[in-house]
Structure 1
Amino acid sequence: MQRQSFRQEFIAGACVALVLLMGCGTSKPRGSSTVTEVPLENTAAVAHTSWQDARVGDRVEYAFYVHASGMSRGNSSSAGQLFVEVVAVRPPWVWLSIRVTRNDGQPHPHPFLRHAFVLPMRMGQAPAHRPPGIRGSPPIPIRAFAAGHHWLAQRTSRDESSGDGPTQHRIYAEPPGPLYLTRGLLEVDSVSGFNVTFGHRLALVSFQRGSGTSEGVLPRMDRPFGPGTWYEMKARTREGSRVTRICLGAEQGYLLRKGWTDSTDGTRCEDFQDAESVALEDALIQLVDESVFVPTWPPRDYGAPLPRQGPLHLGQDSLRAYFDETPDSMDHESLKVTVQGFATDVWNPVLRGLPREARFKELSAETFWQPRAGLHQFIEDTRLSGWGTWLEPSELSSSTR
């Protein structure tokens, strides 16, 4: 009974926070997302829109609230507004700005969300994928009201709370119409856990269709979300070394990721066949979720002091970094120690052009034996060894080259 009460209190708290988030602290009107199952013939059909129809000014805006408790890193919550907007169109590329703010429009305080990202999306053919929604849940046709508009929609849901799993639902407009940027996402809601709880809610509050009278200005690739870039990690052991290159792309609403080891001919990433893929809206949900999974920077347990600082060398450049040491006592004579290096400022100019997934984690890691007496003995290490964009110069802003 106590467990059920705790879950109900969490859900109620999340809902209250979302209501406050969407209605307070801003001079901009905020919509709401409510779902009512009524006869479908009462809702007008939405015109078909796809990435090939993208216009500068196309935009979707969501309100979000994320909360986690019981973690070793402490209890944390994050709330704000998430914007996805088309800022330039140069077929076959649609250039997106991804921006997160507080509810009052000011920059979000979390370092992961403080600056806008750039994301080039290629018009083309979407990779093989399952329909939007929750896997294994049959979609239920409904009518949804969100952002002042009625939508033909589909709802999927699942309740696994009896086994400490999530209680969740998703609602997608079908067809997506002007919400093509996020495959028609209207709302996602999920809560899970008992001793360690986590929940998030994201709901559409506004959208707009661009005028189509401008092709926009190509943005700089200083702060890429990921697509259009590559990065390399060099790993060394006592036996030798290897380099792994990660190439990141995006096509027709999906983010693509593919890695190669010891095969880095040139800087182009042209072959995304069999690449991992994730829908853009899922990547955006992951972005805001990370702001509670890593509530403080660098990542550390609640109450732990800041790690020591020092210079971290990346090629010919260097930057200030935190060095977090994790000892693992193996026997009474030695320790196995892992030292991870994190940029003190994840937006340091040295990291210009580095994709998000490499920026927001350790840039280096070294593992060694530390005898109780004597010099340490190297085991292995990894380090960010290079990054850049694989887009052609003609596809980039002149200020980026």
Structure 2
Amino acid sequence: MPMRHVTCPVAALLGAVLSFLPGCGSTMSSNPSPVDAQRQDATSQQAAEAWKRARVGDRVTYAFSANQGPTPGEADAARTLDGQLTLEVVSVQQPWVYVRVAFTDAAGKPLSQTRLAKDLVVPVRSDVTRPVDVPRPGQVTAERPSFSGRDWEATRYVSDQRPVDGPLRTRVYANDSTLLYLTRGLLEASTESAGFRTPGGVKLSLREFQEGSAEASAPAPSLERPLGPGAYYDRRVDLAPTQEVLRVCFTAERGYVLRSEGPVGTGSDPCSDFSKAEPEALEELVMSLPWDALVSGAWPPGAAKAGAGGTFTMADRSVPTLTEQRTDDDEGTRHVYTETYAADPWAPGLAGVPYEARFQSLDSATERVGAGGQRESAGGSRLVQWGPWLGGQP
């Protein structure tokens, strides 16, 4: 639904006063005033408390559009991607709320873009194990937009990093986020790239929302296709003469995703400590996926599409693969680079793999070519383990 702004004449002497009136906005400092900070705290607290009252069927749907290019100085064409993003509660098993994330076309059908073709599951804790909050940056304006058939008291945040080759980020949040707690009250968002990078950006706007039923119930879904939270993966990294296994773990609490990475410890449960993990708002993470999909292009990446077929095996799992190999000279030394990708990143053999690992190489290697054509390892990495740490196997 198109957005309607209520405009108010703001005289310079009255700006400070009108900034507190609903629907009458004035631009403020990029460092929020105490009143702005209190408003952010109140909105965040509303969304946090709403997770405790989550019901099966709670849903928000946004229209999204992403565009890229053409690249300056290149002959490539501009690309676009449009559709809908839906977040819906599909099960409540307190303290866990299971959210389905789906990207579809305007008719609700799956997208052909490989990275967005399947639904994802996100278990979110309704309580907290540590204080989690991410301040909303930017200049602040109060306004009263219209979305999904109703007017909202809202706050717009604009962060303009274009003077230093950064993006222009705009976010509009409802002051009362209770109905939209799944995305902390997000009504509208846009990010526009700038500087020397390929021009483009992504936009998101609320299309509809729905409250679930207190009587509805459903079992917890399997974590066959996790966005991240509730799952982990291990990657062995070889940097001769050392070898190390790194574990990446994910969880989510009250609308924030936490990601931790570090060496695999001995004698400890997988993903038992997120005390040092950096939080990212769930709506920011899912909003970035269409842009990432557009920039990354078709699957598999690069020359791997025409690469040699094979099979990646880990324990009792096997995944059909495509392998790309290329050769480069670096300061007179010849190197051979090999990258192996899943032919289908949604293959059954990858059940339980967090989203980000599905679209990385399953196996990679770098070799130096010496005299007589003899090769020696110069490093590499390999996916060696994955799965849910929450609720057992997918």
TM-score range, shorter chain: 0.7 to 0.9
- What residue identity is the alignment partner of 1:358? A
Q: 2:114 aligns with which of 91, 111, 114?
A: 111
| SS of structure 2 residue aligned to 1:193 | coil
* Pair 1:377 & 2:379 matched: no
Q: Which moved more, 1:97-106 or 1:188-197?
A: 188-197
CA distance in 2, matches of 1:200, 1:356: 20
Match in the other structure for 1:130: 134
Structure 1: give runs of 5+ residues left out of the alignment.
Answer: 1-30, 394-399
| SS of structure 2 residue aligned to 1:139 | strand
How high is the TM-score relative to the length of structure 2?
Answer: 0.83
- What residue identity is the alignment partner of 1:346? P
CA distance in 1, matches of 2:330, 2:164: 36
1:244 Cα offset (Å):
0.7
Change (3 A) 1:238 1:167: closer
| SS of structure 2 residue aligned to 1:155 | strand
Match in the other structure for 2:90: 87
Match in the other structure for 1:12: none
User: After superposition, what is the alpha-carbon deviation per residue over 1:332-384, rounded to whole angstroms, capped at 9, x for unaligned?
Assistant: 5x411221111010011110111101111111110111247423211112100
Match in the other structure for 2:309: 309
CA distance in 2, matches of 1:158, 1:119: 28
- Native 8 Å contact 2:132 2:256 kept in 1: no
CA distance in 2, matches of 1:80, 1:214: 28
The 5 Å alignment of 1:256-271 reads 256-271=258-273
- What residue identity is the alignment partner of 2:151? H
- Native 8 Å contact 1:335 1:372 kept in 2: no
| SS of structure 2 residue aligned to 1:36 | coil
The 5 Å alignment of 1:208-227 reads 208-227=210-229
Count of residues paired in the alignment: 356
CA distance in 1, matches of 2:239, 2:274: 29
- Native 8 Å contact 1:353 1:387 kept in 2: yes
1:168 Cα offset (Å):
3.4
CA distance in 2, matches of 1:127, 1:288: 30
Match in the other structure for 1:248: 250
Change (3 A) 1:160 1:256: closer
Match in the other structure for 2:353: 354
How high is the TM-score relative to the length of structure 1?
Answer: 0.82
Match in the other structure for 1:36: 6
Structure 2: give runs of 5+ residues left out of the alignment.
Answer: 9-20, 25-42
1:160 Cα offset (Å):
4.6
CA distance in 2, matches of 1:41, 1:362: 49
| SS of structure 1 residue aligned to 2:284 | helix
User: After superposition, what is the alpha-carbon deviation per residue over 1:62-101, rounded to whole angstroms, capped at 9, x for unaligned?
Assistant: 0000011134786422110000000111110101000110
Match in the other structure for 2:17: none
- What residue identity is the alignment partner of 2:56? V
| SS of structure 2 residue aligned to 1:34 | coil
| SS of structure 1 residue aligned to 2:289 | helix
- Native 8 Å contact 2:228 2:250 kept in 1: yes
| SS of structure 2 residue aligned to 1:224 | coil
Match in the other structure for 1:366: 365
* Pair 1:343 & 2:346 matched: no
1:242 Cα offset (Å):
1.1
Identity of aligned residues (%): 32
User: After superposition, what is the alpha-carbon deviation per residue over 1:158-211, rounded to whole angstroms, capped at 9, x for unaligned?
Assistant: 445455543332100012121010011111123233662021110000001111
CA distance in 2, matches of 1:70, 1:306: 25
Change (3 A) 1:190 1:129: same
Change (3 A) 1:158 1:359: same
Q: Which runs of structure 1 show a deviation greater than 6 angstroms over 4 or more consecutive aligned residues?
A: none
- Native 8 Å contact 1:99 1:115 kept in 2: yes
Change (3 A) 1:161 1:379: closer
Match in the other structure for 2:297: 295
- Native 8 Å contact 1:268 1:391 kept in 2: no
CA distance in 1, matches of 2:166, 2:232: 36
Match in the other structure for 1:15: none
- Native 8 Å contact 1:32 1:204 kept in 2: no
